[in-house]
Amino acid sequence: MLFTESTLVFIALNGVFAFSFYAVLVAGQLSLAQAGFAGIAGFTAATLTPPPAQWGPIPTLLFAMVVGMLVGAVTAVILGLPTMKLRGVYLAIATLGFAEAIRIFLLNSEWTGGAQGMSVPKTLTPVVAWVVLALVTYWFARQSRSRYGRALEAIREDELAARSIGINVGGHRLSAFVAAGVLAGLYGVMWAYYVRLVAPEDFGFSTAIDGLVTAVVGGTANFFGPILGSGFQTMLPEIQRTIGIEAGWIRPFISGLLLLLVILYLPGGIASLIPRRRQKVDIASLQTDAAGLSLRAHPTAGEVVAELKDLAKEYGGVHAVRGVNLTVRSGEVVGLIGPNGAGKTTLVNMISGLIPPSSGSATVLGVPIGRTPVHRIAAAGVTRTFQHSKLFNRLTALENVLIGAHVVAKPTFLRRLIWLPSARRDEHTALTHAARCLDRVGLLDKANTLAKGLSYGDQRRLEIARALAADPSLLILDEPAAGMNHVEADGLSELIRSLAADGLTIIFIEHNVGMVLDTCDHIIVLNFGEVLADGTPADIAADERVIEAYLGAADDGETDAHEADVAAAATPTKAAEENDD
């Protein structure tokens, strides 16, 4: 008999546990604390809950589950606050250590019964177990296409890019971690109320590894993953037993082998066999659909957008930027040029809040930089692109831009849980907004292409579209034309002018000086971290010091109107791209 009652219950149990790993894996976090959460929650709930004779079995179980979920959540917050700044393997090991510490604590405590464990009434039935699994699955099904779910995906794909479009990465990571704690706590209680005798050893290292493996085998491509993984992992020993493979070494060997095969040949887990439904947009509805997002009020033309006072950044004695004073006014297109290593990227990194200045101060859109987190600065209306594009590679162009709209779109997850029609409307509005931003950069026909599949020039434009989706007041472009051909660069120049005409303020770093002279109202030349010149394009083109800093020697004979000297030295080269300044 393959599907015994206990097999059914264990599929549901392992599924819930796998979801507790899924909850953080979708945000790109590898946590192994879940076994610890389950342990402390299981024991605490079993201790606090009165025997079933008092309230009846189901209310008792429900009460225990609530206690377990609360304990899981609180434990997750306690562990999460100090460890959320850790990444990757560090987080995995720290959380594993925490889980192990909990196990040792439970093992050495009187109230848990120590190594003997605690006897708990068996009240969990297959029906209850599967109802719980169904609810958990529903939760994640509704999460996946909400603003919250997309933000988690963005964090998984590229944390820095997520921060720079206004996603509060720390908060989202912590909430995902708490969800993992709640689910692990739930699992711990269900386990305790099914196995009759619960012991600290049930929540050890191998339990954590089993949960992780189940989640990974199932895959995080969609919300079926944990159930599929649990079905696979739970049924495997049963099937082996049914077809007469004896216990001992063969069963773990085959389990290991299958796990290896899945990870080698099915990178997204079993769930990746189910094709993913991508977010699509009906292009025809773009023109007719008048409803847009309620966008922010931009500063009026001429108002000060950014004010830099004596700004400096030092790396171990090297002055990357020093003594920069600068005022940027609304509606301006400001070009930032200078040789490699002049400090251009460092300067915009400070303006966008990615790195704090060593000294000096700056205010951008009324927000003081230095202590303000990047996502706050983004929310105030500063978005940017990066020198090496930082797209969410495994998502489509449209999904990238949709995530870019995070700060202007409304949160939809909780309303999606109860199927409120307004959530559907808001999602539709955001989608239309994203499609319009794509249209603006001329990429609408590639909306459903994966970002990594786009050409280099298209990737640069997609990054601009994503930054535009946040409806910024100040847009910072770091070498947007690098790798573009003449035609593409001309198109980009036009786009920048038209954005400025709409009231955006733009700062852009570019090595193509001809393009900068043609596009900008205001140019700043940096050299060795200091402002060498600051003025209109005509001033800059005539400035002897600029020509010298760029050239030092004669030009190569190109004689194209006013910018010949400067432009000749500054055509973008491969070397310029490789070389971070």
Which residues sit at the interface with another protein, rule CB under 8 A? 30, 82-83, 85-86, 88-90, 92-94, 96-98, 100-101, 104-105, 107-108, 160, 205-206, 209, 212-213, 216, 248-250, 252-253, 255-257, 259-260, 263-264, 267, 315-316, 345, 349, 354-355, 386-387, 393-394, 580
Q: Which is nearer to another protein, 88 or 302 (CB)?
A: 88
Q: Which is nearer to another protein, 49 or 349 (CB)?
A: 349
Cα separation of 401 and 404, whole Å? 5
> CA distances (Å), 305 to each of 25, 331, 343, 347, 457, in order?
39, 9, 21, 16, 29
Cα separation of 436 and 433, whole Å? 5
Q: Which is nearer to another protein, 125 or 240 (CB)?
A: 240
Smallest distance, another protein to C-beta of residue 478, A: 8
**Residues 456, 352, 169, 424, CA torsion sign:** negative
Report the DSSP beta bridge partners of residue 336.
509, 524
Q: Which is nearer to another protein, 96 or 270 (CB)?
A: 96
Q: Which is nearer to another protein, 213 or 407 (CB)?
A: 213
Residue in this structure with the two tokens 């040789």, named with its chain if needed: 339
> CA distances (Å), 518 to each of 56, 120, 510, 521, in order?
79, 77, 12, 9
Q: Which is nearer to another protein, 93 or 197 (CB)?
A: 93
Question: In which order are the strands placed within the sheet that holds 367-368?
Answer: 318-329, 304-315, 359-364, 367-368
Smallest distance, another protein to C-beta of residue 184, A: 18
Q: Which is nearer to another protein, 120 or 169 (CB)?
A: 169
Q: Which is nearer to another protein, 217 or 489 (CB)?
A: 217
Residue pair 147/404 in contact (Cβ under 8 Å)? The answer is no
Smallest distance, another protein to C-beta of residue 42, A: 20
Neighbours of 286 (CB within 10 A): 14
Can you point out the beta strands (E) in 294-440?
304-315, 318-329, 333-337, 359-364, 367-368, 382-384
Smallest distance, another protein to C-beta of residue 345, A: 7
What's 396's DSSP letter?
B
Residue pair 526/340 in contact (Cβ under 8 Å)? The answer is no
Residues 6+ apart with CB under 8 A from 506: 332, 333, 334, 474, 475, 476, 477, 496, 499, 500
Neighbours of 282 (CB within 10 A): 12
Q: Which is nearer to another protein, 1 or 243 (CB)?
A: 243
Q: Which is nearer to another protein, 213 or 500 (CB)?
A: 213
Burial of 333 per CB tally in 10 Å (0-12, 13-18, 19+): buried
Contacts 24+ apart (CB under 8 A), 556-563: 560/514, 562/517, 562/538, 563/513, 563/514, 563/517, 563/518
Read off the amino acid at residue 580.
D
Q: Which is nearer to another protein, 206 or 361 (CB)?
A: 206
Q: Which is nearer to another protein, 116 or 536 (CB)?
A: 116
Q: Which is nearer to another protein, 165 or 408 (CB)?
A: 165
Cα separation of 129 and 194, whole Å? 10
Smallest distance, another protein to C-beta of residue 577, A: 14
Smallest distance, another protein to C-beta of residue 558, A: 32
| Strand pairing report for 333-337 and 522-527 | parallel
Q: Which two tokens stand for residue 296?
A: 């922010």
Smallest distance, another protein to C-beta of residue 529, A: 15
Smallest distance, another protein to C-beta of residue 185, A: 21
Smallest distance, another protein to C-beta of residue 374, A: 11
Smallest distance, another protein to C-beta of residue 400, A: 16
Smallest distance, another protein to C-beta of residue 249, A: 4
Cα separation of 508 and 464, whole Å? 12
Cα-atom radius of gyration of the chain, to the nearest Å?
Answer: 28
Smallest distance, another protein to C-beta of residue 265, A: 9
Q: Which two tokens stand for residue 469?
A: 């989706």
Buried b (16+ CB within 10 A) or exposed e, 385-397: bbbebbbbeebbb
Smallest distance, another protein to C-beta of residue 284, A: 35
Smallest distance, another protein to C-beta of residue 125, A: 32
Helix, strand, coil percentages (3-state) for the chain, rounded to 5, are 55, 10, 30
Q: Which is nearer to another protein, 3 or 90 (CB)?
A: 90
